[in-house]
Amino acid sequence: MPTTTAALTLRRGAARVLIDNWTGTSTVPSRSLYPHQWSWDSAFIAIGLRHLSVRRAQQELESLLAAQWADGRIPHIVFNAAVPHDAYFPSPDFWQSSRAGHATGAPTAPETSGIVQPPVHALAAWLVHEADPAESARRGFLHRLYPRLAAWHDYLHTRRALGDGALVAVVHPWEPGMDNSPCWDKALQRVEPAPPEAFRRADLNHGHPSDRPTDLDYGRYVRLATDYREAGYDDRTAPHQFAVEDPAFNTLLIVSELALGKMAQELGRANGPHLARADELTRQLIGRLWDAKAGIFRVRDLTDGTLVDESSVSGLIPLMIPQLPNDIADQLCQTLSGPRFNAPSTQLVPSYDLNGPAFAPLRYWRGPAWFNTSWLIERGLRSHGKHSCADRLRQGFLADAGRSDFAEYIDPSTGAARGARNFSWTAALTLDLLCTDGADTKEFSP
């Protein structure tokens, strides 16, 4: 627990953000730009909330899973019916989940989106359980969440294994959580954008256009989501003009399979299938996405079968995998500390290669340094014994979180706060780093 005056002040500030963004059943990412519940945001938020209230952390995940589809998918947005539909686009009127997704298992209420986000939920649930095992057992937390999380993973393994191996694919740029990463540009060029009159962006009401994805990108996002909706959100029949294997998405599935193995063991069930899946996914991740020459994992475009020649933070997140071979972990650390990702004004990890042709220091996932991905990498560094690097990243994270008013992300060139302020996952992960100092990152080490 934090003891210095500065740390206690930072903890109080982070706690205030989470209290202010609490809706009564879940936490919004920000009161302005993101007024609903987001999938991977809630997982990160629960990880931080466990240090304030285990019960509230459990509720954060439980409220998200209450909107799970019958086919197992966890939607990337759960809409708050009390929020006006024009407050965010795409709205419930666009996704039409209860109608368009009826055959694939969408709930009648609440309304949700039809796509997904990275599967960090089982890791979050296990960490919440570990924060107070007695309270978890009293409420039957693992007993209730384990089958839902297992169904979520089954959906990914059965409906999203679109390539030649076990890796799962994302079918929309919003699904990996890194919406406008340059890693998607090549695949998106094949997509005819929706006409401008087909949508009205609400994000520009709160975010500066220079920070946000372009109108052309948005038109392509809308086209892909519309086509998926018209296919009934059925992965067996949807056209999937965009389908890629992303290293971060698959890494989080691996780590969450290991977490499901821990849960299964705790519940007296067989953990072997989860460990076997994690091993096979790790083997496939290395075989299909590792670029030894570049020292980073790449995205694979499933339309043409090629690796995308772009370097993003997604390719560093496999450091989280405890069974990653030491030589690969060492190469990733060299890449992390080298000129491509060593930002001049922050210890946080830029979202894209600083020397890359598409680098843009202000534009969302095309350069800015994000707190959640840096938290994942800090955890990965510790799991491989890289404690000095992890300490630097942790110290920079906490310093930037405090001085930026818990910003959404940071300009890596100047260190200026960008995006929303009082951002929930920034506050939550600040709490986690203040309270754990890497102590629980050895959970899944061999």
Indicate which residues carry an active-site annotation: 179, 408
- Would you state the structure tokens that stand for residue 324, as one six-digit string? 């990653």
Helices marked H in 324-386: 326-337, 371-383
The two three-digit tokens of residue 286, written as one number? 């290395």
The Cα 192–Cα 74 span in angstroms is: 28
Other Cβ atoms less than 10 A from the Cβ of 186: the count is: 17
d(C-alpha 208, C-alpha 198), whole Å: 21
List CB contacts of 292: < 8 A, sequence separation 6 or more: 331
Rounded Cα distance between 384 and 184, Å, is 29
Dihedral-angle region of residue 188 (phi above 0 means left; psi in -120 to 50 means alpha; beta otherwise)? alpha
User: Does residue 90 have a cis bond before it (omega within 30 degrees)?
Assistant: yes
d(CA 417, CA 410): 5
Residues 6+ apart with CB under 8 A from 175: 76, 115, 116, 117, 118, 249
Residue 410 backbone phi and psi in degrees, to 5: -130, 140
Pairing between strand 417-418 and 409-410? antiparallel
d(CA 75, CA 106): 9
Helices (H) and strands (E) in the chain — how many of each? Answer: 16, 10
User: Are 45 and 60 within 8 A, CB to CB?
Assistant: yes
Tokens of 435: 């309270």
